[in-house]
Structure 1
Amino acid sequence: MPADTITVEPVRDELWPELQAVFGYKGDPSGCWCQWFKLTGTQYRELSREQKAVRLHDSVAAEPAPGVIAWLDGEPVGWAAVEPFSSYPGLARSPITKRLADDPADPWAVTCFVVREGYRKRGVAHALLEGALAYALGRGADIVEGYPVDPEVRPALTSAERFHGTVSLFGSAGFQVVRRPSATRAIMRFEAPR
């Protein structure tokens, strides 16, 4: 049996129907539309699913793209959000991801992964992270961060709790742990070769 062919590219407006297929109409992704880190808690709770989808669509139609989409054998199957840290006000407020004195001011951040049910455990998240990293570096990023969970510490993490990615996923892409703000979370960083 041939290996799965996974391709990844920056999302753009004409791919909106495919991105809708990735987020789906039930489950956590369809309720969030990658707006959790873009809004205050109150704003997030006040917006409907449809309003969150409109916000993501508006950012997809603009430049730069807010993330990358993955295709497996021609089917849209995954999404990773990646933008400069400053694009995510929620990151600055979070006790996990807030900036410390010696942190880079505005690295690019990979904040979210969505892989459609039925396509998990087939390398999609790895391809998404590689694509997100390549996209950020291609846009001039010197540093790219991730804020993954560590299932080695807490094996019972659900797939919904893994939307940040995992420590092993980021490690396999060359990211290094720079600190652990909690037992189950890490700040991981990739620095572009100089």
Structure 2
Amino acid sequence: MPIEVKPAHEFADMATMFAPKNPESSVCWCLSWRLSSKENRSLAGAARAEKVRELCSRDLAPGVLAYRDGEVAGWAGIAPRAELHPFANSRKIPHIDELPVWSLWCIRVRPGFRKQGVTPALIDGAVAYARASGAPAVESYPVDNGSERVDLTMAFVGTRSMFERAGFEKAADTTSVVNGFPRILMRRTLG
């Protein structure tokens, strides 16, 4: 079954990935890496969903979604780093140059679709979307975990090996740590 990756413009499909059973619950919706801490904390419950609805309606999608047989299988958050407040202003993840890179910060695969090639398809689809949108390079900030297992709740940042398989190279160390593992800055230059 082929996997199709498309820009995330369909709010209902984003809701499939992120919406809580109780609409008033304040779940991530993958906004914490997009907004300032103040704005992120101020959005609660249904307001978080409305922010995502707004992002989906823009010309530039908030990321990409993977589909298998028409069903939403996964998500990758990708956008210009300048739009992502925590990365644009990070003291822990360096800017290695002035290139207006895009950041690929979150990968999530729905249960029932894991271990079926969705993650590599998401990374490739996110890179293709960035390239088509004029990005000169894509950065990711995965953990450098060697062969150690990463807790599933923190695996959204990805691992060094998965990005190496997708053509990314380590560009810098960071002082950021996730689940006890150091994060590194990896980059794939687009031509």
- TM (norm. structure 1) is 0.86
The runs of 5 or more residues in structure 1 that have no matched partner are: none
Q: Secondary structure at the match of 2:27?
A: helix
Q: Is the 8 A contact 2:171 2:186 kept in 1?
A: yes
Q: Secondary structure at the match of 2:139?
A: strand
Equivalents in 2 of 1:171, 1:10: separation in Å?
A: 23
Note the C-alpha offset of 1:156: 4.0
Map Cα deviations across residues 31-57 of structure 1 (whole Å, 9 max, x no partner): 111111222223323321422221111
Map Cα deviations across residues 79-122 of structure 1 (whole Å, 9 max, x no partner): 111111101011133333242xx423420111111211221111
Of residues 34, 42, 48, the one that matches 1:46 is 42
Q: What residue identity is the alignment partner of 1:189? A: R
Q: Secondary structure at the match of 2:46?
A: helix
Map Cα deviations across residues 115-167 of structure 1 (whole Å, 9 max, x no partner): 112211111111011000001001111111111112326x2421121111211
Q: Secondary structure at the match of 1:140?
A: coil
Question: Within 5 A, what are the aligned runs for 1:1-194?
Answer: 4-12=1-9, 15-25=10-20, 31-99=27-95, 102-152=96-146, 155-182=148-175, 184-193=182-191
Equivalents in 1 of 2:45, 2:99: separation in Å?
A: 32
Query: Higher mean Cα deviation, 105-114 or 45-54?
Result: 45-54
Q: What residue identity is the alignment partner of 2:3? A: I
Equivalents in 2 of 1:24, 1:114: separation in Å?
A: 14
Q: What residue identity is the alignment partner of 2:46? A: E
Equivalents in 1 of 2:125, 2:72: separation in Å?
A: 14
Q: Secondary structure at the match of 2:39?
A: helix
Identity across matched positions, percent? 35
Runs of 4+ in 1 over 4 A off after TM superposition: none
Equivalents in 1 of 2:127, 2:62: separation in Å?
A: 13
Equivalents in 1 of 2:136, 2:46: separation in Å?
A: 35
Q: Is the 8 A contact 1:110 1:144 kept in 2?
A: yes
Q: Is the 8 A contact 1:32 1:49 kept in 2?
A: no
Q: Is the 8 A contact 2:109 2:118 kept in 1?
A: yes
The runs of 5 or more residues in structure 2 that have no matched partner are: 176-180
